[in-house]
Amino acid sequence: MNIKKLLHNLTKIEKIILVFLSLVLIISAYQLGQAFYEQNSEINYLPGGVYAEGAVGQVGVLNPLYAQQGSIAHDLTQLIFSGLTRYDPETGEIVGDLANIKPDPNGKKYTFVIKEGAKWHDGEPVTADDVLFTYNDVIKNPEFKGNILNYNDYSGIKINKIDQRTVEFLLEKPDSFFLVKTMAGVLPKHKLINESVDILETAPFNFAPIGSGRYKFVSQIQLADHSEYGLEAFQEFYDGPPNIESILFKVFASYEDLQKNLSGLTGIRSVPSENAEMILKKGKFILDRYQLPQYVAIFINNEAAKLKDAKVRLALQLGTDKKSLIETIKQQKIIDTPLLEIDQENWVNQYSVTKANGALFETQWQIPNKDKVVKEPEDNPNVASSTAEVTYINSPNEGKDWATTSEPITITGNAPKNTKSIRINDYELQKYVPGDPGWSYVAATKFDSLNKGENVYEVYATDYSGEEKLIDSITITYGSSTTKNQTELEKRKEENEVAVSLPIRQNKNGEKLSLRMITSSKPEIYRQVALEIQRQWQKIGVEVVIEVLENEDFQTRLNTRDYDLLIFGQNLGYNLDAYPYWHSSQAKEGGLNLSQFKNFVVDSLLEKARLEDDEKRKETLNDIQKIISQEVPAIFLYSPTYYSALSEKVSHPPFDHLATISDRLGNIKDWYAKVDRKFKDGTNPFTFIAWIIKQF
């Protein structure tokens, strides 16, 4: 009986069942085949392919001397241009790029020999003249205002041409950070010789650049919801062409627009932490998590009238709950010092609403009288008439008995009306002004006013008639961490939790302690930080007026220092150099000293740190931190956690030592974006039979 006759004799239902079983058999066989293939083959990465990366933001000009570190423009320019040196994100070292390095043992001379075969993308050779043009004619020109000067100081450096492929850099004194300065992308003299330096930023060259890097610029296209920048591998690159044939940067105005175009991407430059889980659920991407030598801080304008008093700045720091902040914004690492090379644990900032209010009590900023919680006995029916039972001490611990293991201790309180003088035990307060509503007293072991164990402080007030009365007292236990079975830390936590919003503080002229805080609309997390700080500082009577600004307005306000407070991030870059951010020379329009912090001792120490080896530099940095802790030029909050997303089909070296987000592309030569699979060695039909038997 043939197959045709057999099928003809089947009923309709039998035919349907046969078709169904055949489909099941085919699908099962396919799935078995796929499973066998997956388990007995391996990924094979191949040269070629396209890497399409999505990013959010703006690009600006494609000139390495103007690109801000870590910007999208920095991503592009480090691929298009070569520096004499480059940063290796696998090792964290500065290595030769366009040139080989020959340092002199005295540390004051470096010779660079341009590698054989180095060419510009238009085919012209790269020569020593291009290096001299870049450094002498552009960077060191007084008319030049590029962003590279924000990170590097080229004064005192002489650059000489030895021959067509050799240049030497002569330093006035050894500089441990020098090689970072030679990472600047070299510009083609033959393309820019006729451009004036003062208008170089707007030159047509920057929109269709010619470089000497691994990738050459091909196109820039503006589409409806994004712009695209196309790069192609430079086949004549002096160290050999990279594996990936083409790179396409797709730049969107918002993350929402980027999400709508995920299907056309094989990578995402930066994924906001709140979107990380959603990206994973798409199943197409793998997330890489990393941190940079970077911090986000509240920069306090030290020249703002309301913030010149260090006690006010200290109070703002004491009133900032960083733990609550990072939980709110879903970050992970708290930062307490901008000097990332030193041990963070030695400089942990304390959070205490009580101490913050105590610090503000010693300034001109007070809670308005009509809102005072403490009242005279006759005005408060719930308080006994005996003056000794009235709470005139308001800190520490709101006047209640307290225990501590740290000193000195500042005791503050209110004075009755018509008070001429205040005495604490046997000491009359010398700085108390007759009639003032408040007073303060510092207890410390060095003054013999604080001893181990229990210390009783009795407060006496003398009026204008000469009558002296005991108005309040507090017992402070020093050297023991418990009072009523409660540790100091637990006590402070309880105080912070029960603290309530206070009325806005005022000075004697009725001016409110209202501070203008600005931040950028990008990244969006800065807005969340601002709102949380605004909420927290209500507990210490400080009003925060927030302005979230778009890029152009933000840059204007930033450059002119038109703010009281600024929420912003700073990256210490490749050598963790704090000089650009805290030296007084940078407290200028356009500079990076965003707090306008000026301290000549710190200046000297920052200059010294640049000349020292790692061990000595840490000692110097600790000396700097002592001053920063006293002056409080900023409140350091957290180090951001970053995520980038890559297709599982993209292979790249690990991101172990990133200094900027752009460094993830630092070893692009070792990336792959084209993949197939091949059977493992030794796989044959008998392997399949054995595999089938094992499955069942």
Question: What is the band of 693 on the pLDDT scale with cuts at 50, 70, 90?
Answer: low
Res. 282 pLDDT band, cuts 50 70 90? confident
pLDDT (0 to 100) of residue 328: 94
Question: Which of 623, 157, 540 lies closest to 355, judged by CA?
Answer: 540
- Cβ–Cβ < 8 Å for 574, 87: yes
Taking residues 87-94, what's their average pLDDT? Answer: 93
What was the pLDDT predicted at 464? 85
| pLDDT tens digits along 52-79 | 999 999 998 999 999 998 899 999 999 9
Helical packing angle, 353-361 and 488-498, nearest 10°? 80
Residue 426 DSSP one-character state = T
pLDDT greater than 50 at residue 377: no
Question: What is the residue type of 79?
Answer: L
Instruction: Give the Cα separation of 571 and 573 in Å (integer).
Output: 5
Judge whether residue 691 has pLDDT over 70.
Answer: no
Hey, what long-range contacts does 549-556 have (CB within 8 A, 24 or more apart)? 549/518, 549/519, 549/520, 549/521, 550/521, 551/58, 551/520, 551/521, 551/522, 554/518, 554/519, 554/520, 554/521
Residue-wise pLDDT for 306-347, tens only, equals 999 999 999 999 999 999 999 999 898 999 999 998 888 778
Helix 685-695 to helix 12-39 angle (10° resolution) is 110
pLDDT, residue 199, reads 92
* Most confidently modeled range among 25-29, 287-291, 316-320, 412-416: 316-320
The chain-wide mean pLDDT, for the chain, equals: 88
Q: Check whether 389 has a pLDDT greater than 50.
A: no
Asked if residue 4 has pLDDT above 90, the reply is: no
pLDDT on residue 685:
59
Judged by phi (left if over 0) then psi (alpha if -120 to 50, else beta), residue 515 lies in beta
Tell me which residue of 538, 532, 569, 565 sits closest to 632, measured CA to CA. 565
What are the DSSP calls for 263-305, one per residue? GG-SEES---GGGHHHHHHTSSEEEEEEE-SEEEEEEE-TTSG
What span, in angstroms and rounded, lies between the C-alpha atoms of 617 and 340?
Answer: 12
pLDDT at position 279 is 84
Residue 385 predicted with pLDDT over 60:
no
- Whole-number pLDDT of residue 374: 39
DSSP state at residue 379: G
Q: pLDDT tens across 600-652, in order?
A: 999 999 999 988 888 899 999 999 999 999 999 999 999 999 999 999 889 98
Tokens 């990279």 locate to: 242
Please determine, for residue 202, whether its predicted confidence score (pLDDT) is greater than 60: yes
CB neighbours of 488 closer than 8 A, spacing ≥ 6? Answer: 403, 404, 405, 481
Span 165-173, average pLDDT: 96
Query: Residue 681: which pLDDT band, with cuts at 50, 70 and 90?
Result: low
Per-residue pLDDT at 227: 96
The predicted model gives 24-49 an average pLDDT of 75
Helix (H, G, I), strand (E, B) or coil at 668: helix
pLDDT bin (cut points 50, 70, 90) of residue 663 is: very high
Percent of the chain with pLDDT over 90: 57
C-alpha triplet 200, 201, 206: angle, nearest 5°: 95
Distance in angstroms (rounded) separating the CA atoms of residues 181 and 49: 34
If you count DSSP H runs as helices and E runs as strands, how many of each does the chain have, helices first? 18, 31
Section 234-239 average pLDDT = 96
Mean per-residue pLDDT for 1-9? 67
Q: Enumerate the β-bridge partners of residue 12.
A: none
**Beta carbons within 8 Å of 614's beta carbon, 6+ residues apart:** 341
| Cα–Cα dist 242/441, whole Å | 69
- In terms of average pLDDT, the best of 245-259, 261-275, 471-485 is 245-259
pLDDT at residue 128 greater than cutoff 60: yes
Q: Which of 443, 440, 415 is nearest to 430 (CA)?
A: 440
Structure tokens at 531: 């709102």
**Residues comprising the chain, all counted:** 696
Query: What predicted TM-score, i.e. pTM, was given to this entire model?
Result: 0.70
Separation between Cα atoms, residue 147 and residue 136, nearest integer Å:
16
Burial class (CB in 10 A: 0-12, 13-18, 19+), 152: buried
Query: Apex CA 281: angle with CA 278 and CA 286, to 5°?
Result: 95
Identify the pLDDT of residue 686.
58
Whether the pLDDT of residue 31 is over 60: the answer is yes
Nearest one of 384, 409, 416 to 395, comparing CA atoms: 409
- Report the interhelical angle of 614-631 vs 310-318 (nearest 10°): 100
